[in-house]
Amino acid sequence: MHHLLIDSFHTVLNQVWAYALNAIGGNPTDDAIRAWLQNLRLDITAGCFNYRPSTGDPTKLSLHSYGIALDWDPLHNPHQRPLTKTLPDWWYMIWARNGWRDGRHFPTPDPMHVQFATGA
Ligand SMILES: [Zn+2]
């Protein structure tokens, strides 16, 4: 990951953790929070840095080439039409609140994808 995004990435993960804690309610253990997140497959990533052409436009580098994009649970959130996703809306909102954008609205939806860039 690009070093300038590390703090933002940690903030997102901490907010996801806090959301889970609140959603479970009471005073859950760390293991209970992890299990809740794993049940939603929010612990599955396909990675960040990957020096390769963009799948949308192979004449350009993918934002993964700059370490500013991550993919999550690609098996259940594939890059395809029509939009097919399991990642929850609240999870995308946390990313958005921290300046990240996602691929749900790409011409070919890419719901696994979050990026710290606009207009790309
Ligand atoms: Zn991606």
Mean pLDDT of all residues in 79-100: 98
Å from CA of 29 to ligand 1 middle: 32
pLDDT > 90 in the chain, percent: 95
Mean pLDDT of all residues in 103-116: 96
Residues 6+ apart with CB under 8 A from 56: 106, 107, 108, 110
Confidence of residue 120 (pLDDT cuts 50, 70, 90): low
CB 115 within 8 A of CB 63: yes
Å from CA of 27 to ligand 1 middle: 35
How many CB atoms are located within 10 Å of the residue 75 CB? 10
Q: What is the pTM of this model?
A: 0.94
| Distances, alpha carbon 115 to alpha carbons 3, 16, 46, in Å | 14, 17, 13
